[in-house]
Amino acid sequence: MDYEYLRNHNFDVDGAVERFAGKTDLYDKYIKLFTEEDSYFNLEDAVANLDYVNMELHVHSLKGLAGNLGVNSVYNATCIMLKEIRTGDKEKALNLFKFVEEEFLLAKKMILKADS
């Protein structure tokens, strides 16, 4: 895994590896799994179905995973969307999913490139 590439693209690799007790092999495993994260795909389904209960659940889950793995762009996007869901501006929350989607897909692309 090319950590320098990830660092240069706003990933908090050092903080994440520290949360993994310095075990880079474990971090590598989970950052790769993030590219196929169910909570993202479940969030996508919840948005398509206008299911705000599950939308909140899955955006919160994705936020936590992104934060722990140091995927700052996805973490920040999900924080904004989650705030809108919780404050009741559901239309704005729906519109923010596009931002979450863009950040997730870009992060996925970067992780795959860093792993090649």
CB-neighbour burial class of residue 65 (10 A; exposed 0-12, middle 13-18, buried 19+): buried
Domains contained in the chain, CATH given:
3-115 (1.20.120.160)
- Using pLDDT thresholds of 50, 70 and 90, give the confidence band for residue 111: very high
Q: What is the pLDDT of residues 17-55, one digit of tens each?
A: 999 999 999 999 999 999 999 999 999 999 999 999 999
d(CA 28, CA 104): 17
Q: Taking a C-beta distance cutoff of 8 angstroms, is the pair 48, 67 a contact? A: no
3-state SS of 76-111 is: HHHHHHHHHHHHCCHHHHHHHHHHHHHHHHHHHHHH
The whole-number pLDDT of residue 4 equals: 97
